[in-house]
Structure 1
Amino acid sequence: MTLRPIRVIADDYALSPGVSDGILDLARAGRLSGTGAMVPSPRWKADAVRLLDTPDGFATGLHLTLTGALSPLGPMPSLCPGGRFPTLSRWLALSHAGLLSSGAAKAELAAEIGRQLDAFEDAMGRAPHFVDGHQHLHLLPGIRPLLLDAITRRYAPGTVWLRDCAEPAGRILHRGVTVGKALFIAALARGLAAQAAARAIPTNRGFAGIYGFIGDFPALMARFLDGSPAGGVIMVHPARRDTELASLDPVVGARLAEMDYLAGPTWPDALSHAGIFLG
């Protein structure tokens, strides 16, 4: 059997102690391909140092964060008047109404994207290996072009890849996991690969990992692995138990279940059975 490489990327590094601890444990055990960091977290600078001790080849990127119980790294008076990021539904409304593409909103977004890239580079001493978005906001009109511009301006062609959440509808239907949500996110991603390619920004070739954060995670992961193409990405959200996570994010139980599976004995066997290795 010819094995095909995929990337299994853990989101939300630095969100809480248990998230960072779990991801680092999995990285050192060779159970993940990489992680995306939430640099607006007050934990980021300390947790960034710990990433320097991960194995060679472990990818560390920017998980662009514009939602959740965190604050922007600088003033965003028109978009974040209370000093906290808007909800996902608010971003969707603003984006699809065309209210992020000009004026103060555009300037504030561009500045925050720059600040988050700066924060990653300052802590890690280099550019991110990749960029993606918390709750996939990097896909949205108004945010997408500013991120593409920032990557093009700051980094040499081909050196930083961008997560593309597009998937063929047939693959999503065959997988049969949270189909409506997966189709919606794939539709949001339409055109991103072509726009990135025009700027010499690499992207992944497939995307999986979307589910409702309920259910039998080993069985769900088997579906994600089935049919994932070479060069694809599967996102995961593992965490160790801690006392802070529930105050920062509503997803707790699913993170613990993912951690148990990815750290357990059957995960390497599942990869092998699917004809996959971690790239």
Structure 2
Amino acid sequence: MRIIALLNRLLRYGVVGGTAAAVHFGVLLLLGQWMALSLANPIAFLAASVAGYLGHALLTFREETGGRQFARRWLLLQYVVNISVCALLPLLKAPTLVLVFTPTVLNALIWSRAARFSARSRQQHNGQPPLLHADDLGLAAGVDAAIVDLARSGRLQGASLLVNGPSASDAVETWRRLAEPPPLTLHLCLTEGHRLHNCPDLPTGFGTLLLASILPWQRRRIAPQLRTVLLEQISRYRQLTGLRQIRLDGHQHIHLVPLVLDAVLDLARSESITWVRTTREPLPEGLTLALWWRSLQTGGLIKWFVLQLLSGLAMPRLRRAGIQTNRRFAGVLFSGSMFGKALRRSWITAHSPGKVRRASRPLVLIHPARRHAVSGMDQDAFQQSVAFFSATNRQKEWSSAQQL
């Protein structure tokens, strides 16, 4: 049966490949009457790529795709690779066999990889859903109200408490009155807030702490201050919540900076830090070009890349320390604009293929707030948050989360 299935797939692949080649030839022949071949050929290549993209998704690999298209980035990848290879090989004076079969082999690899990706995405969609999580509880009454509303309606499965936020105490009291309050997490804040008298270098920026991670003299100066601030915020968290064990993440994901993570791991055993959030975020499938452009404009793509690297470094260290973490994450690529299709596609991609423990469940992060939430913020100590929560996107995230 396997041989028959393989032959059947090879036949379908050949039909689609032959059709794509015919499309290439036909478009090239047609356009060649009105323009130079150097211009007509890339257009013909694009037409052939589209034919292959649709044919392989809908016919060759329909078992993997379920009859749906591949993610559009596979079309872009295949087109760029083909154009590049076909331009480069003649310059290298490659033999005829290499000229003929190299694109064929590359196409087979690309489309089969796209098929595996689609199959995995379908499994995720049908698997265990992620947990919806909100950051910045305690920042202001308008932020707290939106987060509590989502928790009360059952849409939210967790929130991170900003213990040095102006409304932290009131937020915890309101949280306790919920019928089934979701778990809280300590939201370590090192980039905003009031400075402790014995920590002159904190708070400071993400980039400063990242740089201090690799500069020995800066590390020696800041590390003791990090320990002091971390202990102070852990103490405040316990005072507010009454919880002994600590689940921890960071404001602006600052806890993933190596120097900060060092301090967290040093205190993990003595302070019962049992879970730390990581941000390994798979790229969502089915995004429009407009959404990719939004991510690029807002810096989300750069943040995603940096935090992918930092999470990749952090996860082995957390495992060695016996600290649990989430397997997947969504919320960096569209940080600040997790609403509408961006939220829905991120939500689907974050699904877990099988059942996992709650501590390992994927997280989808949002920052909801009511209108005019900034009016209750500490304008001097939380200037970055004031700017962030002034945007109407905070209400859009709240509304989109209600509709998940």
TM exceeding 0.5: yes
Alpha-carbon distance in 2 for matches of 1:131, 1:236:
17
The alpha-carbon deviation at position 67 of structure 1 amounts to: 0.9
Q: Any idea what SS the aligned residue of 2:307 has? A: helix
Q: 1:197 to 1:54 in 2, by over 3 A?
A: farther
What is the correspondence of 1:79-90 to structure 2 with a 5 Å cutoff?
A: 79-80=201-202, 85-90=203-208
Cα deviation digits, residues 134-190 of structure 1 (max 9, x gap): 1111111211011122222221xxx731101124xxx32756554332122111222
Residue equivalent to 2:227: 110
Residue 174 of structure 2 corresponds to residue 63 of structure 1? no
Alpha-carbon distance in 2 for matches of 1:55, 1:161:
24
Q: 1:98 to 1:255 in 2, by over 3 A?
A: farther
Residue 241 of structure 2 corresponds to residue 124 of structure 1? yes
Residue 174 of structure 2 corresponds to residue 54 of structure 1? no
The alpha-carbon deviation at position 110 of structure 1 amounts to: 0.5
Equivalent pairs counted in the alignment come to 252
Residue equivalent to 1:274: none
Q: Which structure features the higher share of helix residues?
A: 2
**Paired-residue identity, %:** 24
Q: Any idea what SS the aligned residue of 1:9 has? A: strand
User: Residues 100 and 142 of structure 1 are in contact (CA less than 8 Å); yes or no, is this contact kept in structure 2?
Assistant: no
What is the correspondence of 1:1-279 to structure 2 with a 5 Å cutoff?
A: 3-56=127-180, 58-68=182-192, 70-72=193-195, 75-77=198-200, 79-80=201-202, 85-99=203-217, 101-102=219-220, 104-127=221-244, 130-155=247-272, 160-167=274-281, 171-172=282-283, 174=285, 177=295, 178-211=300-333, 217-230=339-352, 231-241=361-371, 242=373, 243-245=375-377, 247=379, 248=382, 249=385, 250-252=387-389, 253-263=392-402, 266-267=403-404
The alpha-carbon deviation at position 5 of structure 1 amounts to: 3.5
Point out where structure 1 has 5 or more consecutive residues left out of the alignment.
Answer: 268-279
Alpha-carbon distance in 2 for matches of 1:98, 1:8:
38
Letter paired with 2:339: F
User: Residues 64 and 132 of structure 1 are in contact (CA less than 8 Å); yes or no, is this contact kept in structure 2?
Assistant: yes
Letter paired with 2:399: D
Point out where structure 2 has 5 or more consecutive residues left out of the alignment.
Answer: 1-124, 353-360
User: Residues 74 and 112 of structure 1 are in contact (CA less than 8 Å); yes or no, is this contact kept in structure 2?
Assistant: no
User: Residues 160 and 249 of structure 2 are in contact (CA less than 8 Å); yes or no, is this contact kept in structure 1?
Assistant: yes
The alpha-carbon deviation at position 209 of structure 1 amounts to: 0.9
Query: For structure 1, which segment, 249-258 or 177-186, has the greater mean C-alpha deviation from structure 2 after superposition?
Result: 177-186
Q: Which has the larger radius of gyration?
A: 2
Q: Which structure features the higher share of strand residues?
A: 1
Q: 1:122 to 1:73 in 2, by over 3 A?
A: farther
Cα deviation digits, residues 100-132 of structure 1 (max 9, x gap): 532x42111101101101100011111355210
User: Residues 284 and 345 of structure 2 are in contact (CA less than 8 Å); yes or no, is this contact kept in structure 1?
Assistant: no
Alpha-carbon distance in 2 for matches of 1:63, 1:202:
16
